[in-house]
Amino acid sequence: ATELSRIKTPWLVKEIAWNEKLIRKAVVWLCNKLDKSVLKLTNRDYNDNNLSSLVANHGPAYDINLKVFNMLQKSITGWPGGKPNNTAKRPERSRPYPKTVLIFSPRPADDVITMGGTMKRLVQQGHKVYIAYQTTGNIAVSDDEVIKYLEFVNDFLNKDKQSIEKYEKIREFLNEKQSGEIDNVEVREIKTLIRKGESLAACRFLGIPEENVHFLKMPFYETGKLDKAALNDKDIELNMEILRKIQPHQVYASGDLTDPHGTRRKCFNAVEKALKQVQNDDWYKDCWTWLYKGSGEDWGIADADMIVPISPEELHTKRLTVFKHSSQKEMIYPGTEEKQVWKYTEERNRATAVHLDELGMAEYEAAELFVKFTV
C-alpha cells in the first residue's frame, strides 16, 4: 500500500497541503529522481517535476533546499540516548541522563540485526539498557541444532540414567518426525533454550547484564506452526508488565508490519496496546518511543526521525553480535537474490549511508534508522 502513488508521491496525484514531513519526502524523492544532492536542486527541477506548488508556497528552491538539508542534518546523531548537557537540537532529549532504555525484540536476534550498532552506543554512553524478547523464536531452530545440543548434554551427563532415557526419547521422536509435523513439547523447549542462550550471549557481548534481559514468551506464538494464534489479553499483559517494571525513558520496538508470518506485526500491536494502557502512569510522561523497521527492510531516509551513524568498527561489532545467534547465522533472507540475513542487513546499513552521502550529508560507513512513535 505504501508504494501507491497517492501515499508515496501524493504531489503527483493531487494538490496537497504541504507540511514538513511531505516537504522532506518530496525533496528526497526529487534528489533520487534527478541524482542530485539537496543543495543543488533548482527552481526548474521542482517546476519540471510536479512540485511547482511547493516552490510557490515555500520557495524559492534555495529556501526549500536549506530547510530540508537542516532537517536531515538534525536527524543524524551519534547519541541515540541524547547527548548530556547539550542544548543543540537533536532527535532525543539531553535529559534525563543516563536514561533507562527498554528494547522490545519480537524474536531473538531481531534486536541486534536491526539496531545492534545503536544498542552498543547506548551501552557505551552509560544508559541502562534492558531487552524484552517477546517470543521464543523456537520455530526457527533446525532439528540438527537440537541434535547437536542433545549429544553434548548426553555425553556430559553419560552416567545419568534419567538424562539418557530422555535423550533416547527425543532422538526417537526426531528420527521418526515427518515433514511438516509439529514438534513435541520437549523439542520446542530445547529450541527455546537454544534461542535463549544465544540471546544472552549476544547481550553479554554488547555489555548488557543478564539480569537486564527478559523473555516474555508471548502465548500467541506457541502454536508450533508458522501460523500463529490471535493476540490475547495475556500477550498484552506481559508487555504492559515489563513496561511498568522497567519504567523506561526510551522504548524501542519493531515497526515492521510486512512480516509474512505476522509475528512482528502482532508484537507491535501488543506493544502499542500496552503503551496505551500505561500512558496515564506518572513515569510515562518522560517516555519516548522509537520504532526500527525490521530485518527485511528499513525506513526511508525521508521518513526517519533519528539516523544513527555506524563506524566500520561498530559495524564489525554488530556482525559479531549477530553471529552469537549461531543457530540463525545461515538463515536466508527471501528475495530476488537470496542472502544470509546478517549480510543483507549489513549491506542495507551501508546503502543507507551511501544514500545520505548522495543527498549531501557527511559520508558514513553505515547507519540505522528510527521513526518516532506516539500512542
Residue 21 parent element (H or E) = helix 20-34
108-131 residues labelled b (16+ CB within 10 A) or e (exposed): bbbbbbbbbbbbbbbbebebbbbb
Grid cell of 63 as nine digits: 529556501
Q: Which residue has the higher pLDDT, 179 or 252?
A: 252
Give the confidence band of 101 by pLDDT, cuts at 50, 70, 90.
Answer: very high
Number of C-beta neighbours around residue 358 at 10 A: 16
Same domain, residue pair 111 and 43:
no
What is the distance between the alpha carbons of residues 271 and 243, in angstroms, rounded to a whole number? 9
Q: What pLDDT score does 337 carry?
A: 55
Tell me the pLDDT tens digit for each residue of 293-313: 976 678 999 999 999 999 999
Is position 152 within any domain? no
| CB-based contact 83:76 (threshold 8 Å) | no
**Which range is least confidently modeled, 42-51, 219-228, 352-361?**
219-228
End-to-end CA separation in angstroms for the chain: 22
Tell me the pLDDT tens digit for each residue of 62-71: 999 999 999 9
pTM exceeding the 0.95 threshold for the entire prediction: no
325 pLDDT exceeds 80?
yes
Mean pLDDT of the 261-286 span: 94
| CB-based contact 120:317 (threshold 8 Å) | yes
The last residue of one of the domains, among 53, 73, 93, is 73
Same domain, residue pair 10 and 130:
no
| CB-based contact 130:100 (threshold 8 Å) | yes
Same domain, residue pair 9 and 130:
no
Same domain, residue pair 263 and 309:
yes
Q: What pLDDT score does 156 carry?
A: 84
Please name the residues in contact with 341: beta carbons below 8 A apart, sequence gap of 6 or more. Answer: 113, 295, 322, 328, 331, 332, 333
Domain coverage including residue 223: 79-135+200-373
The last residue of one of the domains, among 58, 73, 88, is 73
240-273 residues labelled b (16+ CB within 10 A) or e (exposed): bebbeebebbbbbbbbbeebeebbbbbbbbbbbb
3 pLDDT exceeds 60?
no
The last residue of one of the domains, among 43, 73, 103, is 73
Q: What is the mean pLDDT of the chain?
A: 92
